[in-house]
A and B are shown apart, each in its own frame.
Chain A
Amino acid sequence: MSSIFDSPIFETVLSMILVCAMLSLLVSSLTELINSYFNERGKQLYNTISKLFDDNVNINFGQLIYNHPMVTNLRKDNKTYPQYISDAMFSQVMIEVVSNFAREYKYDEEKKSIVMQVAKDANGLPVHEDLFTRFKAGVEKMEHTSIKLLLLNMADKATSMAKGDSSTSEIASLEKQLKQWYNDQMDRMTGWYKEVIKKKLLIVGFIVAIVLNVNAIHVFQTIYRNPQLRSELTAISERVAENYEKVKSDTSLTDLQKETKAMQMSKIISIKKDSTQLSEIKDALGQMQKLDTAFNKIISKVMKLDSIDKIHDSLRRIKLAEDFKNTYDRIDEIEALGLPIGWKLNEPPLCWLATKDTANKKFLHRILINNVFINRDSLITKLKSDHIDKYFINYVKPSFWNWVFYLIGICITAFSVSMGAPFWFDLLLKFVNIRKAGKKPLTTTND
């Protein structure tokens, strides 16, 4: 007797989770591609650091650190912000920027230029001012705001800590506090960044649902009513879940990399037969992949140069090329599933726009099947004669409810895929494990 875990409904749900997982991976790859192109992480980091010092009154030291040579060297080009600034670099650069603000400059009548003033003792010899003292002087020079108080208190704490612990200098204590403050803010930034990404995933989710024409309701119905497709998808689901379980614990990989690797290991493209449903979209991405090739050529040249800056730049290009390739591969895999997705003249919603007027040869007025124009009624007759499920015959007919369900289906797809690939892959793994655990073990006659 078959258990509930072998039932068509369970297998359909499992297959739907696989479809959502694959689509959400595509959406994540696309979002990553967009973020790489627009240097979103770098911008978010810049905005976060800017906000740390934004009191509307004082000079924004957070923005000024981007002019510091140490940070400037991290820029890939003059239009890109660094994606990452370590806490050590932040604290060091910040102390220098504030300290420099304390320096005094005077116009020298003899030299006819502005020159830096050096403190001198009674004998006219230069007095060494340590960095910590100058940092405090820089903070004291600021207008009175909460940011000034914050920095002043950090400096005071550093003094107290150094007094209590002779092995720690004031500047080291100050650096420690600045690092702590920065890291706390970076944690918050990660939260903000996730919020931004969520919104983007939803927008990209809608774009993918529309461009690929993925009506979740129709996909569900098709899988449910097609036992062969269902069993194939169930088998793929198990394979993907198995591979995902293998890579899930690998801490060296990001979430997106884990899911991508699981898909690569599952070799879906070689299992399933070719389909041309998404060929046009693939072609478009193929054009983009040419850029990927161009990137790789540049990378190979750039990597030969012994320059950290150039290597950073090439790494960014590798990342962008990788994102292109990932997106392309995800489309390939979705295509290989043989699902009722993509835009075709003999499928909804385009076939709903066809008229009964066979004399009218205008585009979209009749349906093209196997390079022969037939009208919609002929299609329905053909489907009936082929003993196709009544659902599919009704689905081809234009009706108010078909349109409503189509739009709902697109929305469901967009919202589902915007939940992110990790959610769907974890769910897939759980469902496959439940199925495995729930299945009655096979018994042999010898037993």
Chain B
Amino acid sequence: MASNRFTNIHSHIFTSTEVPDYFLKTIIGNDWIARNLNSLFQKKMTLNAMKPILWAMKAISPNYRNSIERYIEFIQIGASSTQGEIFDREASAYSGIGNYRIVVLTQMLDYLDVNSKSNHKRIQTQVEEVVQLKRDANYQKRLYPFLSVDPRMTFMEPIDWVQKYISKDMGFYGIKMYPAYGFFPFDARLDPVYEWAEKYEVPIMTHCTRGGSWYLGTFDSVLNKGGFMAPGLNEDHASMTKIRGRINSLIADKDKHKNNKYWCNIFGHIENYEPVLAKYPNLKICFAHMGGATEILRPKKDKSYPKYFDDNWYEMILDKLANHKNTYTDISYTLSNEKAMARIKSDYVDKDFLKYKVLYGTDFFLTQVEKKGDEPNMLSTFLQLFDQASIQKIAYDNNENYLKSKIHPTP
């Protein structure tokens, strides 16, 4: 049956208080500068003071000026006082679309650097705020939260955590994972979560790009010296030999060994889901961002990555979608890249299986730093790119099928 609710399947509403103080290390290497720039850009007066500079830059370097403006805008949204305020901002873009709902993904940022201290709101408090929003009559019918899970969580067993919140009474609909923050999706500690999610058809959203943000600590703090790794949930599966081989190759690669970006490629690699899907073939999982624009546009052979992980994530995701029945992908963030979307559209037309597997999402508000990355522009790009029938599939029907579970049979 056709759905009548337009759905954004991928967005964020966490505020800067939910983010560790050292988070901007992702963009700016120096911790001290990152923390202070963060405070500085949160001030309205700073933005006003910067106006003459930005105006002058319009003549000298318009592109650079625009990216600074977008970056400041991004910080300003994050500096909102409540998650509700950010949701309102996102929702305003959909006021003309009719009946809509927005999936908000909570983000477990507590283990971004296990050795650094920060006074941010931990995931328990972030989730409680979302629980309160979900109960609020202003948001209840439009806000569909997903619960963030990380196998390193210490305050509760991951399975108890998901069972507590993903229920009709608490109002959470699915699970969010971000392996690039420092864990492997095949981690044995997640085994009960996958088993439960498969049994109840609970959707899982997992981050799948080489870029974005990633673990910020040292890798000895995750993998231990000598490369000891936590056991996997399906160690006997054939794919594990290649996966372990890839990890060991990076450990041995002294040039790249200390580069967090490469490690995060190792954590989030698409092949890491192979042992999971082999054990739980009916798992409902969405590989977010379709691997990212850089992968979609990357030539078959280039020298960006060493041989041991020079796979194209976009193609690997297409392969997963073609061979596993409950797998999905979304166009969030990638939607901000015109060229990548042109290729996606062409593949969408050519490959039949994609018509039931692609979901509309934007990755609000993280796209704010991209040109035309604000929510109204993202929505309008999508509506202009696809025809009515495709929009019905991507933004309505597929999303509804993905959200549907035994816990929420009629989302």
Contacts and interface: CB of A to CB of B under 8 A. Distances in A.
Are chains A and B native binding partners rather than an unrelated pairing? yes
Interface in A43-58: 47, 50-51, 54, 56-58
A106 B169 contact: yes
B129 A64 contact: yes
A272 B215 CA distance: 60
B218 interface: no
Contact of B43 (A37, A57, A58, A107): A37
Given A51-B119, A114-B134, A59 B45 contact: no
Given A57-B155, A79-B42, A113-B140, A67 B124 contact: no
Contact of B140 (A38, A66, A77, A114): A114
Contacts of A107: 168-169, 171
A63 B121 contact: yes
B128 interface: yes
A3 interface: no
A169 interface: no
B303 interface: no
B135 A114 contact: yes
Interface in B128-175: 128-129, 132, 134-135, 137, 140-141, 154-156, 168-171
Given A57-B155, A59-B124, A78 B45 contact: no
B254 interface: no
A56 B122 contact: yes
Contacts of B79: 78-79
Chain B binding surface, main DSSP class: loop
B43 A67 contact: no
Interface in B65-107: 76, 79-82, 85
A116 B135 contact: yes
A54 B118 CA distance: 11
B81 A56 contact: no
Interface string A54-95: 101111100110110000100101110000000000000000
A72 B81 contact: yes
Contacts of B42: 79
A57 B124 contact: yes
B44 A79 contact: yes
Interface residues of B, number: 32
Contact of A105 (B141, B155, B169): B169
A143 interface: yes
Nearest to B140: A113
Q: Report the contact-size class of chain A (Cβ under 8 Å from the partner).
A: 20 to 34
A67 B169 contact: no
Contact of A60 (B122, B154, B168, B169): B122
Contacts of A50: 119
Contact of A114 (B39, B155, B171): B171
A105 B132 CA distance: 10
B45 to A, nearest CB: 7
Given A77-B44, A79-B81, A114-B171, A67 B134 contact: no
Nearest to A61: B125
Given A57-B155, A113-B140, A38 B169 contact: no
B17 interface: yes
Given A37-B45, A56-B154, A56-B155, A78 B85 contact: yes
B154 A105 contact: no
Interface string B195-229: 00000000000000000000000000000000000
Contacts of A114: 134-135, 140, 168-169, 171
B119 A58 contact: no
Contact of B81 (A47, A59, A75): A75
Given A56-B122, A79-B79, A105 B135 contact: yes
Interface string B39-71: 100111100000000000000000000000000
A66 B80 CA distance: 13
B80 A67 contact: no
Most chain A CB atoms below 10 A, which of B43, B119, B154: B119
B124 A60 contact: yes
A60 B119 CA distance: 11
Interface string A1-44: 00000000000000000000000000000000000011000000
A113 B121 CA distance: 28
Contacts of B129: 64, 67
Contacts of A38: 39, 43
Contact of A79 (B43, B128, B132, B156): B43
B182 to A, nearest CB: 18
A78 B140 contact: no
B82 A143 contact: no
Interface in B105-130: 119, 121-122, 124-125, 128-129
Contacts of B124: 57-60
Nearest to B408: A107
Interface in A131-147: 143
A75 B79 CA distance: 13
Contacts of B121: 60, 63
A60 B43 contact: no
Interface string B165-190: 00011110000000000000000000
Contact of B125 (A47, A60, A106): A60
A67 B82 contact: yes
A78 B170 CA distance: 28
A191 B202 CA distance: 50
Nearest to A53: B125
Contact of A64 (B43, B128, B168, B171): B128
A79 B43 CA distance: 7
A63 B125 contact: yes
B73 to A, nearest CB: 14
Contacts of A56: 122, 154-155
Contacts of A66: 81
Contacts of B140: 113-114
Contacts of B80: 78-79
Given A57-B155, A60-B125, A106-B169, A78 B135 contact: no
A75 B135 CA distance: 24
Nearest to B127: A59
A50 B171 CA distance: 26
B141 A113 contact: yes
Contacts of B122: 54, 56, 60
Nearest 6 pairs of A and B residues by beta carbon: A107-B168, A78-B81, A57-B155, A60-B125, A59-B128, A79-B79
20 contacts: A38-B39, A51-B119, A57-B155, A58-B124, A59-B124, A60-B125, A64-B125, A72-B81, A75-B81, A78-B82, A78-B85, A79-B42, A79-B76, A107-B168, A107-B169, A107-B171, A113-B140, A113-B141, A114-B168, A114-B169
Given A79-B42, A79-B81, 4 more contacts: A58-B124, A75-B81, A113-B140, A114-B140
